[in-house]
Amino acid sequence: GAGALKITKEGIEVSQHLCRACGACVQTCPVGFLKMKDLTPLKPIVMPDPFDEGLGWKKPVKIYYPQVVPRIPVIDDKACVHLNTGNCGVCQQICGVHAINYETVERIEEIKVGAVVLAPGGKEFEAQLRGEYGYGIYDNVITSIQFERMLSASGPTQGHVFRPSDHGDPKKIAWIQCVGSRDRTCGKDYCSSVCCMYASKEAVIAREHDASVEATIFYIDLRAFGKGFDEYVTRVEEQHGIRYIRSMVSRVFEDPVTKDVTLRYIAENGDRMEESFDLVVLSVGFQIPEYTRKMAQDFGLKLDRYGFAEKSTFEPLETSRKGIFACGILNSPKDIPETVMEAGGAAGAVSKYLAGARGTMTKEEEKTAEAEIAGDAGIRVGVFVCHCGKNIGGVVNVPGVAEYAKDLPNVVYATDTLYACSMDAQELLARTIKEQRLNRVVVAACSPKTHEPLFQETMEAVGLNKYLFEFANIRNHVSWVHKEEPELATEKSKDLVRMAVAKVSRAESLQEARLDILQSAMVIGGGVSGMTAAKTLANQGYEVHLIERDPQLGGQANKLYKTWMGENVQDELAKMKADIMSDKQITVHTNTELAAVDGFVGNFTSTLVENGEKKTLRHGVAVVATGAGSYKPTEYLYGKDPRVVTHHELDQRFINKDPKLKDINSAVFIQCVGSREPGRPYCSRVCCTHSLESAVSLKELRPDMDVYILYRDIRSYGLRELIYEKARKLGVKFIRFNVKEKPEVEATPEGLIIRVKDPALRQEWEIKADLLTLASAIVPYRDEKLAQMFKVTLNENGFFLEAHVKLGPSEFATDGVFLCGLAHYPKGIDESITQARAAASRATTLLARKNINIAGTVAYVDQRHCSSCGVCVEVCPYSAPRFIEGGPNAGKSEINPILCKGCGLCVAACRSNAIFAKGFTEEQIIAQINEMFL
């Protein structure tokens, strides 16, 4: 709850406070030759850039990578001429603000904290430890991270893939999976979780760059367990022609003349194969570096043998030391969506320690009053054109576009800049607005969806209305789609800038409405994720209403026996329920359905039907945690023979301590029952781990029991790989089957006969079993009614669609509504708890503000022309238009600016030309169209 944290800063200092990121030191650094103190001959400065994985070169002083925060240079003391010879010193001399100090400084700062979140990340596996793959020996064997840098538009090759041996274009590329993952020989028994998917992505991008590339991925189990992952792999195979070979490559050899690399492997039919490739990419896993281990040990944390923080299923973010939380790779290897969820979850989890201190150290922001634009000032437009490194500048003649803009009507200033979104560029923008007395701004750069708010904030800071701004997207709309035609791309950029200037010249200052937020939340769904979200919000002092359709809380967890870590689910669930019921901030509504929702972010009014009675509830935010159901199998004799059960039914027997379980001589599990099938093409994520846990429980109950798992891919991702290893050690037998030749089940009085064809051994197995457990799919409720109430979306599989798969995995596009648990996608208890805390954390960002501004770019109705036809009411997906009741305009339409998203559907649909969109007036749009045809 309260403590002190000491931070040590050391190294050559470039002052963050003084540096203006002008880049002069980098430009003037005398890269060439230097004379080291201990060497008489001159040696060239050859410093591989660690950020580019050694594929590029760096100066002794450089900005570490594009868009780094803070954007200040770093001096490498091993390569700096001055630090090694005492000579030079040009960078310090050229710095006009005296930001560079060659003296090594060490400062210890102490800050008071109530909790700590550790997110130090990890690093890739050192591929040279797998010597049989030739990394560091053969030129054309590289790591997947090096390949990522090749693919990057801001990387050392500006997105061009090449063979290191001769810089030629590779036509055959192979990926080898599980390099430094699932491998006891190098101490990395765990699965790194992301490698299968990033290899698939890299193969697709490589083919997009060069359609003649043949891409092959060698794998053990294809672990496409995330949301949309299995569907992506199917598209990769069918549409992009990527070849997947299930085999572990044993050795690679280099042709000394051609430098081609030959792979030796065993094909699925058992044949020994050798195949030559131009380039081999090693899909390296993640690991915890030694400096992170030391840091964790300094904090007094318990780590497992791999260096990951120890935690539990029901406290997946809090470490062994109370008040210290971990997220990201420090917990276990994971991809970006999971990392973002954990980061949000950690922020939510610290609330129980920090809630009482909220606002006690907050300083009110001093806002610059909006300047009035004098009528005699005229329209003064400034144009800023961004290079975005090579992202735009590699295709478009950016200086030429900026020069062209200077002669456009109303433009008084135009310039080009390397990174328009960088800190120094924002400072330049603010300074130029003042010096040039600009009252309109155009930025030609990348996507306005991600960058527009940044420029608008800078304008507001100097007193210019944020809506006197226009974005010309010359990355997505130009350089990315016209990279083969640079001259035409440049002309199109000029067209877009000219159109943007025409529009912004007719722009008007818009005002934003201010909305108060009710300080309460409604959580829909009383399962593990719903209870966690409710408790997290209650810990922060907010009133919470927890809505559950069933008579009791718990959801699907009521049917589960143990977690994959071995914890008793029912014991932990009982504690969660008790915490919820005893919390005075939480009101539990069981046997309750949500009948209707009205209102908008900050002011929702929901109608509940609780035990047959209607109730009205007002709340500021809502969290959707409605869970999911389970597939009821129609195959494998389920429902026809009592010896065939589902996971949940077997768990119930474990929970009840069924003595007959000890009498079982042989048990079989069949995976992917209802998952990865037409109509349900997704992976249900938890089934493999569930089967492994149940198989281990059966073996521990009776060690001589024969247990078989029939599978397509074992997807025990992350640290779940350890229970897969445990099952094998206990004697569980694994038989893979082909989806086109599924197992067959026959009932006999003596037992179930299960026949399965093993493609690896090329033989058919016949297993006599006393028990058959089906790993049935997790099935969404497809709650379209709820989706319509909150104006949110379901995906094609029936799960709720998040705002952004990576950046917003716990929120909806609809403001004030958040998402977690199985309603989002199948996941384990620990992952559901993490996402629930992330959803609660995101909800808190609204509740804590107490009021918000509503965008000014909304539609409005001129009631004088409204014919009361109601078309606008029908077409609006956000229910913003409504008919006025009473008064002189009764029956006319009006638009609630708080609900309006400015999409323009009503403007286009209005037959009476009575609806207009602020910021997109007819005059502005026509001006753009006219400029387009010049």
pLDDT digits (tens, 9 = 90+) for 806-841: 989 999 988 999 999 999 999 999 999 999 999 999
Rounded to two decimals, what is the model's pTM? 0.85
pLDDT band at 354 (very low <50, low <70, confident <90, very high): confident
| Residue 178 Ramachandran class (φ > 0 left, ψ -120 to 50 alpha, else beta) | left
SS3 call for 450: helix
Residue 184 has pLDDT above 60, yes or no: yes
Residue showing tokens 């094609």: 796
pLDDT digits (tens, 9 = 90+) for 75-110: 888 888 888 888 888 888 888 778 888 887 777 888
What span, in angstroms and rounded, lies between the C-alpha atoms of 177 and 180? 9
Residue 31 has pLDDT above 80, yes or no: no
Sign of CA dihedral 49, 55, 59, 65: negative
Averaged pLDDT for residues 492-519: 94
The number of CA neighbours under 13 Å toward the Cβ of 366 is 0
What span, in angstroms and rounded, lies between the C-alpha atoms of 705 and 669? 13
Residue 41 has pLDDT above 50, yes or no: no
CA distances to 222, 223, 557 from 245, rounded to whole Å, are 10, 14, 37
| Token digits of residue 532 | 């966690």
pLDDT value of residue 37: 41
What span, in angstroms and rounded, lies between the C-alpha atoms of 648 and 560? 6
Question: DSSP character for 557?
Answer: G
SS3 call for 71: coil
pLDDT value of residue 377: 65
| Token digits of residue 892 | 């006319």
Residue showing tokens 């009503």: 906
Residue 45 has pLDDT above 70, yes or no: no
Range from 185-194, 385-394, 408-417 carrying the lowest mean pLDDT: 385-394
Report yes or no: 401 and 487 within 8 Å, Cβ to Cβ. Answer: no
Strand order of the β-sheet with 172-179 is 141-143, 279-284, 172-179, 214-219, 243-246
SS3 call for 801: coil
Q: What is the DSSP string of 809-821?
A: TTB-SSTTEEE-G
Strand pairing category for 603-610 and 592-600: antiparallel
CA 531 to chain centre: 24
Averaged pLDDT for residues 729-758: 95
pLDDT value of residue 373: 67
Compare 901 and 585 and report the one with higher pLDDT. Answer: 585
Averaged pLDDT for residues 682-690: 97
Averaged pLDDT for residues 787-795: 94
DSSP β-bridge partners for residue 62: 74
Report yes or no: 31 and 91 within 8 Å, Cβ to Cβ. Answer: no
Rg (CA), the chain: 31
The number of CA neighbours under 13 Å toward the Cβ of 326 is 29
Sign of CA dihedral 73, 77, 83, 87: negative
Residue showing tokens 């798992």: 709
CA distances to 93, 561, 628, 633, 727 from 646, rounded to whole Å, are 74, 13, 16, 8, 20
**How big is the CA angle at 780 (ends 775 and 781), to the nearest 5 degrees?**
130
pLDDT digits (tens, 9 = 90+) for 421-465: 877 889 999 999 999 999 999 999 988 887 899 999 999 999 999
Residue 39 has pLDDT above 50, yes or no: no
Sign of CA dihedral 415, 417, 421, 422: negative
Produce one character per residue of 542-559: b if its CB has 16 or more CB atoms within 10 Å, e if not. bbbbbbbbeeebbbbbbb
Report yes or no: 626 and 823 within 8 Å, Cβ to Cβ. Answer: yes
Residue showing tokens 């077997």: 650
Report yes or no: 34 and 94 within 8 Å, Cβ to Cβ. Answer: no
Q: What is the DSSP string of 269-295?
A: TS-EEEEEESEEEEEE-EE--HHHHHH
Report yes or no: 47 and 57 within 8 Å, Cβ to Cβ. Answer: yes
Q: What is the DSSP string of 589-606?
A: E-SEEEEEEEEETTEEEE
Q: Which amino acid is at 402?
A: A
Compare 332 and 483 and report the one with higher pLDDT. Answer: 332
Report yes or no: 863 and 619 within 8 Å, Cβ to Cβ. Answer: no
Report yes or no: 300 and 554 within 8 Å, Cβ to Cβ. Answer: no
Averaged pLDDT for residues 542-556: 97
| Token digits of residue 100 | 């560079």
What span, in angstroms and rounded, lies between the C-alpha atoms of 722 and 664? 25
Report yes or no: 605 and 598 within 8 Å, Cβ to Cβ. Answer: yes
Residue 363 has pLDDT above 80, yes or no: no
CA 836 to chain centre: 16
pLDDT value of residue 355: 84
| Token digits of residue 4 | 């002190």
DSSP β-bridge partners for residue 746: 753
Averaged pLDDT for residues 269-283: 94
Q: Over pLDDT 70: what percentage of the chain?
A: 97
pLDDT value of residue 2: 65
pLDDT digits (tens, 9 = 90+) for 392-411: 998 999 999 999 999 999 99
pLDDT value of residue 788: 93
What span, in angstroms and rounded, lies between the C-alpha atoms of 63 and 57? 13
| Token digits of residue 510 | 């818009």
pLDDT value of residue 40: 42
What span, in angstroms and rounded, lies between the C-alpha atoms of 733 and 34? 63
DSSP β-bridge partners for residue 281: 142, 175
pLDDT value of residue 413: 97
Residue showing tokens 């290893």: 725
Residue showing tokens 């193969």: 203
What span, in angstroms and rounded, lies between the C-alpha atoms of 231 and 781? 20
What span, in angstroms and rounded, lies between the C-alpha atoms of 349 and 351? 5
pLDDT band at 33 (very low <50, low <70, confident <90, very high): very low
CA distances to 400, 494, 695, 890 from 403, rounded to whole Å, are 5, 10, 70, 54
Averaged pLDDT for residues 23-37: 64
Q: How big is the chain, counted in residues?
A: 934
Report yes or no: 303 and 290 within 8 Å, Cβ to Cβ. Answer: no
Please classify residue 384 by burial: count the beta carbons closer than 10 Å to its beta carbon, then call 0-12 exposed, 13-18 middle and 19+ buried: buried
Q: Which amino acid is at 657?
A: K
Q: What is the DSSP string of 821-863?
A: GGGTS---HHHHHHHHHHHHHHHHHHHTTSEEEEPS--EEE-T
Averaged pLDDT for residues 367-391: 80
Residue 4 has pLDDT above 90, yes or no: no
Residue 771 has pLDDT above 80, yes or no: yes
Tell me what the pLDDT averaged over the chain comes to. 92
